[in-house]
Chains A and B, each alone.
Chain A
Amino acid sequence: MQLPDPAFLLIQCLNGLTLAMFLFLIASGLSLIFGILRVLNFAHGSLYMLGAYLTYYFVSHFINSPGQFWWAIIFASLSVAIIGGIIERFFLSWLYVREELNQLLFTYALVLIISDFARIVWGTEQLSVSRPALLKGAVLILDQYFPEYNIFVILLGPSIALLFWLILYRTRWGRIIRAAALDREMLGSLGVNVNWLFTVVFTIGAWLAGLGGALVSPIAAIVPGMDVEIIIDAFIVVVIGGLGSFWGTLLGALILGQVVSFGILVLPRFSMVFIYILMAVVLILRPWGLLGKPMQR
């Protein structure tokens, strides 16, 4: 077998990295929410989709102002965060006393509602957002062109990971959030308002999903159905890395990104089967994921 061109392999690897950063953004929110609230949020993909659609909406609104794309990203992700906060505060919080299945199904109800909402507002056509003027070009890497925007995403991902790590492990707020994952009753009796903490955590998780959707809008088609596809990928990421594990999510996203981008080269037809098999194998051998800890309860 002829060895493939190294430049081509490098580009493929960078494509995998770009994908991994989006997966990390959405999956870290999913994992955070699961770790603290113990709710597996099926609607996380829908929040991601809303982020993309709202970016389209804001970009077309700020059409004449400078830096329209950046404003749109900020507004879109913040709107999604607010929507997430409202969902948790006014709806989801009533269901914590019930069985897990009820919370799961409520988030599924949100999937249905949000997908049709997007369909009503934006139609079923494929929408797109153009890349920001600042990052329109491409750089030459070993004779191959690679878009500047993707490089921006690859650099942004680790920065957000680092920021989150700092918040989680080096601040008082982070300590409270980690404590909530361990024992919420104890935290409540120590005088922390756990209800509000849950809202804040859900809002942050939603913001991450919205940001992921906003950032993906220039390089992916904005279409109905992107919600149910990405959510399964996000599940795979958190399952591989470990539900509720921060570094695990990053590792899971990196693995999945590379498997997707190289799996297509090896077995174009069945690359999709690969990733589900990967998920199943991890669940069978280490249900708590590569970097997670076995759950006590």
Chain B
Amino acid sequence: MSKENWFLVILILLLAFLPLSESRFYIFLGTDILIMGLFAVSLNLLLGYTGLVSFGQAAYFGIGAYTCALLMKKASVAFPIAFGAAAVFGAIAAMVIGFFCIQLTKIYFAMLTLAFSQIVWAIAFKWNSLTGGDTGLIGVNFPEHLDSPTRFFYFTLVVVALSFYLLRKLVNSPFGRILTTIRENPERTEFIGINVKLFQLIAFMISGFFAAIAGALFGIFNHSIFPDFIFWPQSAEVLIMTLLGGIYNFFGPFVGAAILLYLRMQVTSFTQYWPLILGTILALLLFFFPGGIVGFLKSRRVFTRGNK
């Protein structure tokens, strides 16, 4: 078993015993970290593996959240169907949006993903009759059989662990290797007969699929959904989580999400100026740890080994 599979197993075991602490605080934090961790890992499929800087990932997160909650609340659809629909809907939205975005490169790609996510945001913000507009969608309850924080935590753990397993299988498959090849050099990948745009589009869809799952979970976890979930700073925040952990490692973004959320929990308990601290962390990170935390730890280990 590879090192990263061990990481996954240990993580699941550790988290599985978390509710035994009977601390509402840790169950809450654990659920939050799992959900945002999945969101960050889904973004990293684009950022770290395919080399696409998406600045509008919050769109799929928000679409997942709204789809699942609206189907449950307004159409009384059963939770499993609503949940599945949210993921599928996220993938479809990513397919449509991605089709246009992948035609562009670099900064233009980032700007177009940003534009589309702002379109989604503006619709959620202004369509009062459906989404509740600015006041948000309030009173999203736990679904049946998952009606306690602990139960919902376990459900989240299972979903996220399964998603990680699938994503890891994916990035280690030939398909994943092609994505890495595209990241390294799209032109040469084209030369060896690979349809680069098609692979990019599929990666975009898969990323949207898992981001929507994270969003659907988060909407229920948060009991309410606001257009702010889709506003562009949310896309920036998940980028920060991903970068903080390190983009060249599968679980890096998850570690980044965990660190950031834990810090936020601690910091907001004594000051309201969390953005100031987040900004400072981000700046320090960019200057001193460009490879992210996991990247930093790895490079140090390689360095000390080399010295022996």
Binding site for B on A (CB under 8 A): 40, 42, 91, 94-95, 98, 100-102, 104-106, 108-113, 115-117, 119-120, 228, 232, 235-236, 239, 243, 269-270, 272-273, 276-277, 279-280, 283-284, 287-288
Known: A105-B236, A108-B240, A108-B279. 11 other contacts (CB 8 A): A95-B287, A104-B110, A109-B286, A111-B279, A116-B273, A116-B275, A120-B273, A239-B115, A280-B119, A283-B104, A283-B108
- Report B236-248 CB contacts with A as 1/0, cut-off 8 Å: 1001100100000
Q: Are B280 and A113 interface neighbours, CB within 8 A?
A: yes
Q: Which residue of A lies closest to B119 (CB)?
A: A276
- Complex interface: chain B residues within 8 A of A104 (CB): 110
> At the interface with chain A, which of B6-14, B120-128, B154-162, B300-308?
B120-128
Q: Which of B41-79 contact A (CB under 8 A)?
A: 53
Interface of chain B, main secondary structure: helix
- Report B142-160 CB contacts with A as 1/0, cut-off 8 Å: 0000000000000000000
Q: A100-B106, A105-B243, A239-B111 are in contact. Are A284 and B100 (CB under 8 A)?
A: yes
CA distance A236 to B114 in the complex (A): 10
Q: A112-B279, A280-B100, A280-B119 are in contact. Are A102 and B233 (CB under 8 A)?
A: no
Q: Are B275 and A232 interface neighbours, CB within 8 A?
A: no
Q: Among the interface residues B100, B104, B108, B110, which one has the most CB atoms of the partner chain A within 10 A?
A: B108
**Residue total for B at the interface (Cβ-Cβ under 8 A):** 37
Would you give the shortest CB distance from B184 to chain A, in whole angstroms? 13
- Complex interface: chain A residues within 8 A of B278 (CB): 109, 112
Q: Are A272 and B122 interface neighbours, CB within 8 A?
A: yes
Checking A91, A116, A283, A288 against B115 with a beta-carbon cut-off of 8 angstroms, the contacting residue is A283
Q: Are A98 and B122 interface neighbours, CB within 8 A?
A: no
Would you give the shortest CB distance from B22 to chain A, in whole angstroms? 35
Q: Are B276 and A116 interface neighbours, CB within 8 A?
A: yes
- Complex interface: chain A residues within 8 A of B108 (CB): 283, 287-288
Confirm or deny: B118 has a beta carbon within 8 angstroms of a beta carbon on chain A.
yes
Q: Are A279 and B115 interface neighbours, CB within 8 A?
A: yes
Q: How many A-B residue pairs have CB under 8 A?
A: 108
Q: Which residue of A lies closest to B287 (CB)?
A: A94
Checking A113, A116, A276, A287 against B118 with a beta-carbon cut-off of 8 angstroms, the contacting residue is A276
- Complex interface: chain B residues within 8 A of A243 (CB): 107
- Can you show 14 pairs from A to B with CB atoms below 8 A apart? A91-B283, A91-B287, A95-B287, A98-B290, A105-B240, A111-B233, A113-B276, A116-B275, A232-B118, A273-B122, A276-B118, A277-B119, A284-B100, A287-B104
Q: A112-B276, A280-B116, A283-B104 are in contact. Are A105 and B282 (CB under 8 A)?
A: yes
CA distance A119 to B274 in the complex (A): 12
Q: A100-B107, A115-B275, A283-B115 are in contact. Are A272 and B282 (CB under 8 A)?
A: no
- Report B193-235 CB contacts with A as 1/0, cut-off 8 Å: 0000000000000000000000000000000000000011100
- Complex interface: chain A residues within 8 A of B273 (CB): 116, 119-120
Confirm or deny: B103 has a beta carbon within 8 angstroms of a beta carbon on chain A.
yes
Checking A106, A276, A284 against B103 with a beta-carbon cut-off of 8 angstroms, the contacting residue is A284
Q: Are B282 and A108 interface neighbours, CB within 8 A?
A: yes
Checking A105, A109, A236 against B280 with a beta-carbon cut-off of 8 angstroms, the contacting residue is A109
CA distance A105 to B278 in the complex (A): 12
- Complex interface: chain B residues within 8 A of A270 (CB): 122-123, 126
Would you give the shortest CB distance from B47 to chain A, in whole angstroms? 8
CA distance A85 to B42 in the complex (A): 37
Q: Are A105 and B111 interface neighbours, CB within 8 A?
A: no
Confirm or deny: B112 has a beta carbon within 8 angstroms of a beta carbon on chain A.
yes
Q: Which residue of B lies closest to A278 (CB)?
A: B115
